[in-house]
Structure 1
């Protein structure tokens, strides 16, 4: 079934712009609405110069239909739309995130399949750093990396089965990461990469002996030389499939704000925000578990210990978020 009246199978693209609410939080409602309208008009003007149409299909989501463009031309159009998105970010500290996927008749002859391919391109584009335009051809390469990532996720699941914690430990770490990130306005692709890092943060223990894994949660283990190697091992395992930022978060998950953790001397603003959030989330999860059982979620004692560690082990801005979320 063709999407256009001419009966031609078009090139179909989908665009997702995330972070509007976060980026416009300091604007009045009227100012934010005006910004959205001007933003959409800029998209329409850019698409018209490429003899294509753009339709608003949801909050921050657009469909692009082009009968005459080839893949390279839609890549070029996507680049212009990404530039418009960057220019319209009202808060430099919370930029809008742009992702576009597209597919044409060389990939499929029916619009349902084109739509599915383009939407998958959007989803994979959201995992990349910076604006992303994913064609059907590049999606094939991305899917190969995704298959490797699925294998890595399987390894991470097998590690969790060996942990001396109740099942669901990784999900609890992810949950704390998500809550802190949302409180700080840390969203878009950065939040997605943080979630991946949280899911995979213990993968470096895949080959560790059982006697080491069984000691997780004990403070003495945190300084065990063998234990301290697992973040670097894990980072090397995931770097090719999950990307450099996910690997860096995993590699520096044991670093302290004051530079006394591992790697030695790395701290403060040298650490990615994601690494600081992950370290805090892991400690809250550990300190909420006693003798293999979750005592309370999150345990007040765990929150108190994080607050006490502000400016030493923990980033004070993240401690403030933890206090705002859970302190009584």
Structure 2
């Protein structure tokens, strides 16, 4: 087994994980890593909240982050390393069987780290339900956003859906794809652990202001480069889809840091500009109004088809991301030939 064979297998795995995600999404009959990671976070949180002073809460929050990251990375890494070691020390059919099993597990875990199919399906469900009634649209968007939805207008439901798809193009596709391309399944699952911890405890509320600090900052760090890569892929996707890519760039450079998150505003601002609509603004969370600046200019009114446009933009960006991540490995492969 030489490096060219391993590199060739990795070249195949990068497009394969996206194809599998597009085809199957998140089958409910397969245990999903995020569910397992979420249970681990909840288990550790119950046992690590040993004090209520800010300093102690930050410390135990860091401990939780380290434990979750270590377990999430080293479990798949150990399995794949053991199979690789076996492939090197056996001959013939046994060696190739170990290689095949390692490849299958790596691709399987990589496919589970992506969420393009799920994100698109949920957004299209909002579109269908909103076409039936505003009440059903509110319930549908409530599945994918954290804000209160019972009083949302039709425009606010559309905007919430568009913002979620734009933001999660980074969290659910580009970030895990980048981690997978450069580190395989262990790094992809490590990213999912980081993102899951942020979604569970990375809040600036009374409960998690100190305990979730480490999780939130690590998520910001992990998404910093992928968020900007997402805009890069969205730019070329918007050209192909005949969206206003120049206005997308304009709004991106003007509004990308208006969001509370250093990363979410990157893609949301570009999408707002490319669609020629205004996103963000005030939202209600747990009965409290959270003041947010607007992203973009209201060049035209928001409409339901903006959900469809954003889903197409997300999917094409995912394909371009796959192609972009394959190129350096392809060049390296031919360099070794």
> TM-score band, normalised by the shorter chain?
under 0.3
Q: Which has the higher contact order (CA 8 A, sep 6+)?
A: 2
TM-score (norm 2): 0.26
Query: Of Structure 1 and Structure 2, which has the larger fraction of its residues in helix?
Result: 2
Q: Which structure has the bigger radius of gyration?
A: 1
Query: Of Structure 1 and Structure 2, which has the larger fraction of its residues in strand?
Result: 1
TM-score (norm 1): 0.27
